[in-house]
Amino acid sequence: ISDLIKEDDLVLVTGGAKGITFEHALALSRILHCRFVLVGSTKSEDIYKTGSETAKNLARLKENAKEVEYYSCDLSDRAETRKIIKEIIKNHGNFAGILHGAGISNYALFKDMKKSSFDKCLAVKVYSLLNILPLCGTGNLKFVHLISSVLAKTGMRMQADYTFANSWLDYLCLLLNKMNIPAKSIGYTVWNETGMGKKDNVLEYLKSVGVVPLSTHDGIEAYEKIINSDSRISVVTGRLA
């Protein structure tokens, strides 16, 4: 992948500067040393707030990247997403690559899940990317990396929304490749030190049923191998229940 991207190329990162998405962006910055623009839900006034996680992580990203910018956006909002992406392209140019890590999940039995909650998960994980792609000149894209979940293959109780959304990402990956856009979808199990499992306090439950979370080191090591392979859809796990 380092042969495809030049120093002045621009990579779009959806999902902000925290968690698993940030760890992937950081890994890419060490490989590519190009320009990065991140889009996430952190409010504008908090992006560079002294001591904040976002500010600290952006500083880490700048150690390797040529340029780093952050735009606040509600990716579930189609109009706002299109507006922000158009603004980014006007200010910084077209994207050479996309790292799509945006995602949310709400734990509920399917029979109890509200349609609005289900739709919000799809909007952030799937529709946001569908809103972005037509604006960025797909002929310019040298890669699209989709951070998916092993749940796209296995499913999980109380996670119907997230399972469905990530299954869509895998399908979209295949569709993009048919359009000659190099895309990879990587489905991870839960991570131990960061990500939704830690944030939502479900790690202990998952461990109790036999799931072995990935360490950040192992997750990123797998990512770096996958992006330099011919694989289009991959699954990365510790051990599943």
What is the rounded CA–CA span in Å between residue 84 and residue 40? 11
pLDDT digits 0-9 by tens, 112-148: 889 998 999 999 999 999 999 999 887 889 999 999 9
Closest CA to 71 of 105, 95, 107, 51: 95
Q: Which of 59, 88, 61 is nearest to 72 (CA)?
A: 88
Determine the Cα–Cα distance for residues 35 and 9; give it in Å rounded to an integer. Answer: 6
Q: What is the pLDDT of residues 187-237, one digit of tens each?
A: 998 888 786 666 666 777 667 766 778 899 999 999 999 999 999 999 998
Q: How many CB atoms neighbour CB 6 within 10 A?
A: 14
Closest residue by Cα to residue 135 from 93, 180, 192, 187:
93
At 149-175, the pLDDT tens digits run 988 888 877 788 989 999 999 999 999
- Phi, psi of 35, rounded to the nearest 5 degrees: -95, 140
11: Cβ contacts below 8 Å, ≥ 6 apart: 5, 25, 28, 32, 34, 35, 36, 37, 95, 96, 97, 98, 99
pLDDT-derived band of residue 109, with 50, 70 and 90 as boundaries? confident
> At residue 82, does pLDDT exceed 80?
yes
Helix (H, G, I), strand (E, B) or coil at 212: strand
Q: Classify the C-alpha dihedral 26-71-159-130 as positive or negative.
A: negative
SS3 95: coil
pTM of the shown model: 0.93
Q: What residues contact residue 160 under an 8 Å CB cut-off, 6+ apart? A: 110, 113, 118
**Segment 62-86 mean pLDDT:** 96
* Cα–Cα distance measured from residue 188 to residue 77, given in angstroms and rounded to the nearest whole number: 26
